[in-house]
């Protein structure tokens, strides 16, 4: 595979991560609308609902998990860079590769378990223990999909760091911008 083909595939994965996060942002508006409905119902109409809190918890789970790959793609995740910032671009690539290996193992485990729990929740028709007994699989599916996207994005970052080392380029690998 040529380097330009590889760069094109990596860019496609970046765009999928960004598109997914942008789509998930709409969940915030849904959460706000539900909370507004709850506040009006509770304080103005004296008619609180019991389901809004639980639905918002599901939506927050989805929002958090589906935004993870975006954070990795745009390099907007948290990093302790006291020493890292003083390294050359190649040194940073080595340090990041080591950290990414641990991240892939951790996120890979969560992804594997998430898919297993999702299938189990679907097969057994598992429901929440609230009065409304909402199905659990949508929340578990958000975890499984979110970690899968993060895992793929972590592998993309690893490939970029390997390319950084192989090409002997002393410039930082490109980070996808917010408006791309």
- List pLDDT tens digits, range 93-108: 888 898 899 999 999 9
Give the DSSP per-residue string, 37-87: HHHIIIIISS---SHHHHHHHHHHHHHHHHTHHHHHHTT-S----TTGGGS
Report field, pTM of the whole predicted structure over 0.85:
no
How do the domains of the chain map onto residue ranges? 3-166
Cβ neighbours for 140, distance < 8 A, ≥ 6 positions apart: 114, 117, 118, 121
Q: Which residues of the chain fall short of a pLDDT of 70?
A: 1-3, 80, 168-180
- How many residues in the chain? 180
Query: What is the Cα–Cα distance from 39 to 32, expressed in whole angstroms?
Result: 10
């Amino acid at each position: 595979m040529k380097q330009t083909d590889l760069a094109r595939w990596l860019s496609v994965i970046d765009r999928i991560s960004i598109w997914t996060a942008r789509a998930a942002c709409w969940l915030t508006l849904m959460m706000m609308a539900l909370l507004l409905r709850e506040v009006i119902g509770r304080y103005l109409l004296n008619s609180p609902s019991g389901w809004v809190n639980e639905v918002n918890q599901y939506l927050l789970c989805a929002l958090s998990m589906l935004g993870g790959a975006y954070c990795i793609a745009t390099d907007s995740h948290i990093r302790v860079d006291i020493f890292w910032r003083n390294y050359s671009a190649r040194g940073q690539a080595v340090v990041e590769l080591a950290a990414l290996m641990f991240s892939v193992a951790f996120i890979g485990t969560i992804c594997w378990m998430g898919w297993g729990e999702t299938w189990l929740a679907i097969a057994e028709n598992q429901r929440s223990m609230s009065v409304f007994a909402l199905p659990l699989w949508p929340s578990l599916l958000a975890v499984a999909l979110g970690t899968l996207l993060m895992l793929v994005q972590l592998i993309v970052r690893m490939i970029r760091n390997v390319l950084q080392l192989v090409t002997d380029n002393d410039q930082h690998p490109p980070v996808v911008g917010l408006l791309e």
